[in-house]
Structure 1
């Protein structure tokens, strides 16, 4: 579904009357469990192809002060004068007309800057981000008649919703229409209320958007049929070279002998039973749900339990890390606590199960294995 990806600095200047348009490009609001939820809970779209209810903002630039704007105009004016002389000497009437038009445009920019001298507000991209995160931002949409006249103006106010781990690298962020914010926020955050002091802001900002990850499919798993076990750490002594920084912030390689190196064996891994593994999957599926991420490898869990328990299979049980008893015949997936990020926020097993059940027990499949470009190697 198409959404607008807007450069925040140009939107800031547009809203302050310093631009006649803001810069944007088309982006995609990808398929996800979050998209399923918000579509069913009020998000409007045009034939399922585009929506104004969600936008993406990028914070790549700051804004200039009045003095900086004048210097910028003077710089392009100097360059334009050189280009005008080149065009004049070339004898090309077309190039000369282009440079004359550019000269007029620069003059208009200069007059505009003088007229709006008091409207310029220098801000860094970080300051714009903070402003939009705290106060939200309004976006004006214009509809034009065939002759270019403005037919209709629509202003929508948006609030910051989340930064996905991928988008965070680029400093971009998803904003949503005011009226949808509470529903969307409560869904993403599972209703978690952060304390005023010592809140885990970094952690929740990273884990809440997991359910908004782009997916290629879905698989239904009863959360109460998931066996969650405590992960296993192993420690071995070995010789290592540690890269460290000294008091001058310089990197240096420091060798250590008999260093105790810890390794978590099943970090983020899971086994998924063949009975529910999607027939289009190849070997494993990368799963997402509320505060949950795991790489689930296809395995015959039930076949193993039948062989292991024999005649006791129908009544055999195992205990998970929370002390809950599970019939082995019901277990569809086995994973460890490291896949369950909700544990970092002191949520109970039953509460998480309830939230997954509210979502139809569907887990999003981010990806599966695919054939190598090199063929069978």
Structure 2
């Protein structure tokens, strides 16, 4: 079993949020280029010199994740932390160095680069002063960050949270319930194994939901049952599916004329040459390929060459709609809903609590579960105090019906999508989850300022 870190976190004390810096990726990229000379970037028709990185403030509020990582981060004046930054990818950028040829870079290219390589950023906020730090400038030093998570709500923009590199492993294993390390181990044993990265990225943020409070519900008091699929009466409907459609298109590629002497002159200005005899300590030899130019940071803008057009074919998946008059439409009946007994329902809340935890997401509605069970057992001549759940629990657990406080369906357990990594069977996967959730807690959130929502389930 992989150790994910401490589980004796104090969930009763007040935890203040932390403020972090939010930065546009193109600002960091342009600032890093200043070592090559004077950098100017284009806004509309005006060229502006890159002088500094402009940042905004963002907030990481109380959550299961923040309480877990709290002991490892540094707060400056109790509120600000350099251990996280938010990187935003809202803009493409066009720039030039020392008034040379303009270069364009797309925001998608920036996203790919920083996701793979991380980002180094120097905040202007000074560290808390220490006696050993004699100079003021020593209180601001560069920090390397690695991409931690993308918020599902920001998926279209690619906005995401980066964390200080030496905290990344601890944080990502907590968010993924140890599956991050399991993927690493299993990929070494089977390099061709395919992992559900997209699903994992979506569910790892569940413990970062802003919490309004916390509740602990032991797993041996949670009954898990299969959800019900129901079908409507035959009705008019549209059946949507994918169909394969052959598609022909033209692919244009600019071919550089490497034999043109002007091409050699241009790369000489950047400290490179295609001629081995000209190479020296100040001029580096590179091959006559576009890949060699790209690997050495040279972007070609369409001069000295020609465009070659090639006909390409591919099979494209397109949406196909079929209109029918007598289709029975399937619906998952409860899908993410559950019941919580009145005896454990938080006293300061009404109606339901919206619960999130490690790969768990459920809306628990308030009710008299125990009273219902008692009435049902009386009507069917069942001994309430002796009845056990091994025949109805999804994992075959022998739980006392009299001790059940919460009833949920399998749709609330998102980790069921990753059984292949957690042992290969439902039982082994549940044992993994049970071991990890031991003594961990649950959070309650506030939804639209109306009803306190969000509880986290744990054992």
TM bin, normalised by shorter chain, reads 0.7 to 0.9
Normalising by structure 2, what TM-score?
Answer: 0.64
Match status 1:48 vs 2:78: yes
1:301-355 alpha-carbon deviations (Å, 9 max, x no partner)? 1222233335822222113111111111221211011110100000311211222
Deviation of 1:250 after TM superposition, in Å, equals: 9.8
Match status 1:131 vs 2:140: no
Aligned mates of 2:165, 2:104 — CA distance in 1 = 27
1:180 is paired with a residue whose SS is helix
Q: Is the 8 A contact 2:389 2:396 kept in 1?
A: no
Query: Pairwise CA RMSD of aligned residues?
Result: 2.7
Unaligned stretches of 5+ in structure 1? 67-112, 373-377
2:105 is paired with a residue whose SS is coil
1:58-107 alpha-carbon deviations (Å, 9 max, x no partner)? 111122142xxxxxxxxxxxxxxxxxxxxxxxxxxxxxxxxxxxxxxxxx
Match of 1:255 in 2: 323
1:114 to 98, 111, 131: 98
Q: 1:61 to 1:253 in 2, by over 3 A?
A: same
Superposed counterparts of 1:76-91, under 5 Å: none
Match of 2:66 in 1: 35
Aligned mates of 1:368, 1:62 — CA distance in 2 = 35
Q: 1:370 to 1:284 in 2, by over 3 A?
A: farther
Q: Is the 8 A contact 1:239 1:255 kept in 2?
A: no
Q: 1:223 to 1:15 in 2, by over 3 A?
A: farther
1:15 to 29, 32, 53: 32
Match status 1:3 vs 2:20: yes
1:306 to 361, 374, 379: 374
Aligned mates of 1:7, 1:349 — CA distance in 2 = 41
Q: 1:30 to 1:370 in 2, by over 3 A?
A: closer
1:150-189 alpha-carbon deviations (Å, 9 max, x no partner)? 7343111100001121222432001100111111011011
2:210 is paired with a residue whose SS is coil
Q: 1:16 to 1:340 in 2, by over 3 A?
A: same
Pairs aligned (count): 317
Deviation of 1:367 after TM superposition, in Å, equals: 3.2
2:435 to 354, 360, 364: 354
Aligned mates of 1:53, 1:165 — CA distance in 2 = 21
Superposed counterparts of 1:320-359, under 5 Å: 320-346=393-419, 347=422, 348-357=429-438
Match status 1:217 vs 2:213: yes
Aligned mates of 2:212, 2:103 — CA distance in 1 = 44
Q: 1:26 to 1:361 in 2, by over 3 A?
A: same
Normalising by structure 1, what TM-score?
Answer: 0.77
1:19-43 alpha-carbon deviations (Å, 9 max, x no partner)? 3211221111121101110103x11
Q: 1:251 to 1:190 in 2, by over 3 A?
A: closer
Q: 1:64 to 1:322 in 2, by over 3 A?
A: same
2:147 to 147, 156, 160: 160
Aligned mates of 1:329, 1:50 — CA distance in 2 = 48
Match of 1:283 in 2: 351
Q: Is the 8 A contact 1:281 1:369 kept in 2?
A: no
2:94 is paired with a residue whose SS is coil
2:94 to 39, 64, 67: 64
Superposed counterparts of 1:353-372, under 5 Å: 353-357=434-438, 360-367=439-446
Aligned mates of 1:222, 1:166 — CA distance in 2 = 30
Q: Is the 8 A contact 1:283 1:369 kept in 2?
A: no
1:296 is paired with a residue whose SS is strand
Aligned mates of 1:370, 1:114 — CA distance in 2 = 53
Deviation of 1:140 after TM superposition, in Å, equals: 0.8
Aligned mates of 1:29, 1:143 — CA distance in 2 = 17
Aligned mates of 1:338, 1:173 — CA distance in 2 = 27
